[in-house]
Structure 1
Amino acid sequence: MTIVSELDLPVFDYSAPDLTGEVYHRRLAEVAGRGWLAQGPLSYVVLDRESGEFFLRSRATAFPGRQIAELFGVTAGRLWEQIDANILNQSGERHRRLRALVGPAFTPRAADRWRPAMREFLTLLWDGLRQDGKAQGEKARNGETRNEKAGGEAGGETASCEFVEAVARPYPALTVAAVLGAPAADAPRLHEWSNWVQRQFDIRSLATELPRIERAVAEVYDYVEELLAERRVAPGDDLVSALLAAEEEGERLSHAECVNLVLNVLAGGVDTTQAQLAHALRLFAGHPGQWELLAADPGLAGRAVQEVLRFEPITPFTARVCLEQVEYRGVVFPAGSIVAVCAERGNREIEAGEAFDITAERDARLLTFGAGAHYCLGANLARAELEEALAFLAPRMPDLTPDGPPRFGGVEGIYGLEALPLRWSSPTAPV
C-alpha cells in the first residue's frame, strides 16, 4: 500500500479562472488519460466512475461541508449554523430520519404532481417572450431598432432572447415556490437567495464573497420563519405544511430541523435546475439535428434530459472527506483526506461518451446526482422540470442556434451559465 501523499500525481486545478467550456473538458480528458487520480488545490480528484462510486457510497466518507467552511474561517454565525445543520452534512440515524420525512415530497409520483404547474409557468414565460417580441417589432416599425427580439410574432422570421434571464432563471424558482407553498411573486427573491447560499460550495466565492453569502443565509432564515408562521395558520397542500405537521407530532422533527429542511430545498432546487436547463439549450443549439429530433417527437424529452445530465453535469465535482483511513486500489487515504469525485469524467467513461446523442443507448447510471446515501433528494423534481421545459420549447424554437457566445460561470460549485444568447425561427404552424 502507498500513502496517497507519496504518489506522483498529475495536477488538475479546478479553480483555474479559464476552466470553462471546451477548455474544461479538454483538460479533464488530458489528466484522466494519465490515471484515475489527480491532485487538486484542496483535494484529490477522482476521475473514473468506479472509483467515484466507491467514495460516494463508502460509509467511511462524508460530505466535507464543515471542514471546507473552517478552511475559510466560517466557524460561527448563521452560515455556520446552516452548514452544520445541512442535510448533506448529516449521517447515520439522523440523516435517515430527515430524508424519510422530506423524501415523500420528491418521489417520481410526487414530482409528477407539479407537471401541470410547470407547464403553466412555461406558458407564462413564453407569453412574456412573445409580448417582448411585439414591443420590439413596434419599435422596429418606428425605426427605433433593426432586430426582432423574443417570440417571433413581431413582423420578422427570426426571434432571439437571452435565455438565462428569460426562461432558465425564473422557471425553477416559480416551481420551487409552488412546491414550498410560497407566493409566486417571491420567486425572484428565492432565486437570488438560492444563488448565494449555494456558493457555500464554491471555494472561489468563499474566498472573495463570504459577507454576501452570510447575508443571504441570514435573509433566507428570516424568510423561512415567516413562511412557516403563515403556513401554521393556513396550511396547504405543500411541502412546508407537511413538514409542519411532522413537527407538531413531537419528536419526529424539531423546529430547527424543519427550518433547515425548507432552507435546503429552497437553496438546492433553484440554481441547480437553472444551470442544467441553460446548458441543455446551449448543447442543443450546438447540435441542431438533435434539437430537430426532439421537436418532431417531444416524447424523447426523457432521453434528452438523461443525455444532458450525462454530458454536462452542473455538479462536476462532489467532495467527500475520509472519516477514517480508507484503502482503495492499493492507495491509502488517511483520515481527513478530501477527494473530489468528477462526475464529468465518470459520466463520459462509456462507449462514444464524448458524443452528445439523445438517441444512443446509454448506461443509465450517472454521477450527476451523486450516489449512495446522499443521492440528490430533488433529482426527480429536477428531471420533471427539465423534461417539461424541453418538450415545451423544442417545437416552439425551430432552427435553434447561438446568437453570440455564452458566458460561463466557474466549475467549483454549481457550473452554470451567466448568459446564453439564442436565436430561432418562428414556427410555421401554431404550437
Structure 2
Amino acid sequence: MSTQTAEPEVPFLDMKDPNFSLQSPEARAARDKSWYAKTPYGIAVLRQAEANKMLKDKRLRQGSWAWPDHNGVHSGLFYDFWGSTLINYEGADHARLRRVHNPAFTPKVVESLKPRFEQIAEELIDGFIERGECDIVAEFTEPYAARIICILLDLPEVEWKTIADWSSTIGLALGVTIKEELPNIEQAMAELNAYADAVIASRRANPQDDFVTKLVEAADERQALSELELRTAVVNAVFAGMDTTRNQLGLAIYMLVKHSDQWELLGRDSSLARPAVEEAMRVAPTVTWVTREAIEDFEFEGAQIEKGTTIHLITESAGTDPHAGSRTTFNIAGESQSHFGFGGGIHQCLGHYLARADMAEALTILTRRITDVTLTPGAEWLPETGNTGPTSLPIRFRARGDQ
C-alpha cells in the first residue's frame, strides 16, 4: 500500500475575468488556504515570503513578454513594441539597455527636477481649487504625470494631452481586456511610433542636452542600440512613465481620501509624503502583479513548477499578507513594511526614483492646500487585474483656511 500523501487541493482564481478582484473574499480565502493559486495564465503567488523568494530565484526569468500571447495577441505593433522593451530583455542585452537608460533616472537628475514638479502641481491645483470640486484624474494626476514626462524628454508641454491619450490607450494592453481593445491600442501605437520617430529625427538634426539625444548618440555613435530599440526606448519612456504614475498617484489619493485622518496627517507633516507613497503602493498598487517564467522544471515549496510556467507574484496580496505579519490597514505613519510594486531584482523598475519623487511632491502639495476631501459619484476604474487604477475620480473639498 502506498503511503504517499496526496497534494492538497490548490485554489483556482479566474484572473482573466475583468470583473474579478484580487482583493475579493475569494482571493483572501485562497491566500489563507495556500501560498499560491492556479489561474488561466499559470500560477499566482499570494503570500509575501514565497513572492520574495521567487523574485530572487535564478530558475525564473522575466515573464511579462508572454502577456500578449496569453491573451491571443500574436502579432502587431504592440506585440513588436512589447517584445523589444527593456523589461522583457534578459542577460547581456538587458544589462546593455539598462546602462543606456540609467543616466536619465539617477537621484541627482530627479532632485534637479523637483522644483518643476512643485510648479506643475501648484498650477494644476490653482485651476480647480476655487470650485471646491474636480475630477482629480482628469484635472490633476493625468496632466501632472504627462507634463513630467514632457520635461524629462524635453518635449513641448502643450502636447501633454495627446501624449496622455496615447499612453492611456496603450496601457489597456496591460489589462485583461487587451484583445477587445486591440484596434484602439494599435492605432495609438502607430501614432506614438510616428511621434517618436519625429522626435528622434529632430534630435539627430539638432542635438540637445537631453535624454533622447543621449539615446540617439548611443545608437549612432556607439551602436549600443538598434533602430528598433531606439524607437522602443522613446515610446516606452513616454508610455510607461505617464500611465503607471497617473494610475498609482490616483490610487494613493483615493486611499488618502478614504482615510481622512491620514490625509490630515500628511497635510500637517510633509515628511510623511514618501512613506505615504510606499504605503499606497503596498495596499493599492497599480501593478497588480509582477511576472516571472520558469526556465527549467523545479520543485518549490511543495509545488512542481514546469518549464515555461508563467508565475504572477500578486503585489497587494503579498504586501498585506498576515502570514508575514503585514498590516492589512492603511497607515502612512506606521512602521515601514515591504512591497514590490516596483518589481525587484535586476528587473526593478528603472524609473522608481522619479516615480517616488514626483508622487511624493504631488501628495505633499495636495494635502497642504485642500482639506475635507470626499469622494462624489461618477468614479470609473480599470479592471482590478493587470494594471489598475481610477480613470475618473470626482472629489469635493475645501481649500485650507476657508471657513
Q: For the superposition of Structure 1 and Structure 2, which TM-score range results when normalised by the shorter chain?
A: over 0.9
Deviation at residue 397 of structure 1 after TM alignment: 0.9
Contact in 2 for aligned 1:14/1:411 (Cα 8 Å): no
* C-alpha distance in 2 between matches for 1:354 and 1:285: 17
Contact in 2 for aligned 1:61/1:323 (Cα 8 Å): yes
Deviation at residue 183 of structure 1 after TM alignment: 0.9
Picking from 369, 387, 390, the partner of 2:342 is 369
Amino acid in structure 2 at the alignment position of 1:9:
V
Aligned residue number for residue 193 of structure 2: 221
Aligned residue number for residue 135 of structure 1: none
Contact in 2 for aligned 1:119/1:388 (Cα 8 Å): yes
CA deviation profile, 1:238-267 (whole Å, cap 9, x unmatched): 211221222232222233221111112112
- For the residue of structure 2 that corresponds to 1:39, the secondary structure is strand
* C-alpha distance in 1 between matches for 2:194 and 2:379: 35
Aligned residue number for residue 329 of structure 1: 301
Picking from 328, 334, 347, the partner of 1:354 is 328
Is 1:388 matched with 2:361? Answer: yes
Deviation at residue 96 of structure 1 after TM alignment: 0.5
Contact in 1 for aligned 2:319/2:326 (Cα 8 Å): no
Describe the shift of the 1:402–1:251 C-alpha distance in structure 2 as closer, same or farther (beyond 3 A).
same
Describe the shift of the 1:419–1:311 C-alpha distance in structure 2 as closer, same or farther (beyond 3 A).
same
Aligned residue number for residue 145 of structure 1: none
> Scaled by the length of structure 2, what TM-score is found?
0.92
* C-alpha distance in 1 between matches for 2:347 and 2:163: 24
Structure-to-structure mapping, 1:123-202, within 5 angstroms: 123-129=122-128, 151-152=129-130, 159-202=132-175
* C-alpha distance in 2 between matches for 1:376 and 1:195: 19
CA deviation profile, 1:396-423 (whole Å, cap 9, x unmatched): 1111222236322112221111221111
CA deviation profile, 1:166-212 (whole Å, cap 9, x unmatched): 101111000011111111122112111212222332232x2211121
CA deviation profile, 1:12-43 (whole Å, cap 9, x unmatched): 122334335xx834333221111101111222
Comparing 408-417 and 249-258, the one that deviates more = 249-258
Contact in 2 for aligned 1:72/1:207 (Cα 8 Å): yes
- For the residue of structure 2 that corresponds to 1:74, the secondary structure is coil
Is 1:407 matched with 2:380? Answer: yes
- For the residue of structure 2 that corresponds to 1:203, the secondary structure is coil
Deviation at residue 352 of structure 1 after TM alignment: 5.4
- For the residue of structure 2 that corresponds to 1:83, the secondary structure is helix
Aligned residue number for residue 81 of structure 2: 82
Describe the shift of the 1:48–1:227 C-alpha distance in structure 2 as closer, same or farther (beyond 3 A).
same
Aligned residue number for residue 423 of structure 1: 396
* C-alpha distance in 2 between matches for 1:38 and 1:307: 25
Contact in 2 for aligned 1:284/1:400 (Cα 8 Å): no
Aligned residue number for residue 93 of structure 1: 92
Contact in 1 for aligned 2:86/2:97 (Cα 8 Å): yes
Q: How many residues are paired up? A: 395
* C-alpha distance in 2 between matches for 1:300 and 1:72: 40
Describe the shift of the 1:90–1:234 C-alpha distance in structure 2 as closer, same or farther (beyond 3 A).
same
> Scaled by the length of structure 1, what TM-score is found?
0.87
Unaligned 5+ runs, structure 1: 1-5, 130-150
Picking from 279, 289, 305, the partner of 2:251 is 279
Picking from 251, 261, 265, the partner of 1:289 is 261
Is 1:14 matched with 2:24? Answer: no
Aligned residue number for residue 66 of structure 2: 67
Amino acid in structure 2 at the alignment position of 1:345:
S
* C-alpha distance in 1 between matches for 2:235 and 2:364: 30
Describe the shift of the 1:18–1:67 C-alpha distance in structure 2 as closer, same or farther (beyond 3 A).
closer
* C-alpha distance in 1 between matches for 2:335 and 2:373: 25
Amino acid in structure 1 at the alignment position of 2:184:
R
Instruction: Say what the alpha-carbon RMSD is for the aligned residues.
Output: 2.0
Deviation at residue 341 of structure 1 after TM alignment: 0.6
Amino acid in structure 2 at the alignment position of 1:403:
T
Aligned residue number for residue 212 of structure 1: 184
Contact in 2 for aligned 1:178/1:238 (Cα 8 Å): no
* C-alpha distance in 2 between matches for 1:123 and 1:235: 32
Contact in 1 for aligned 2:64/2:88 (Cα 8 Å): yes
Structure-to-structure mapping, 1:211-290, within 5 angstroms: 211-290=183-262
- For the residue of structure 2 that corresponds to 1:356, the secondary structure is coil
Contact in 1 for aligned 2:145/2:246 (Cα 8 Å): yes
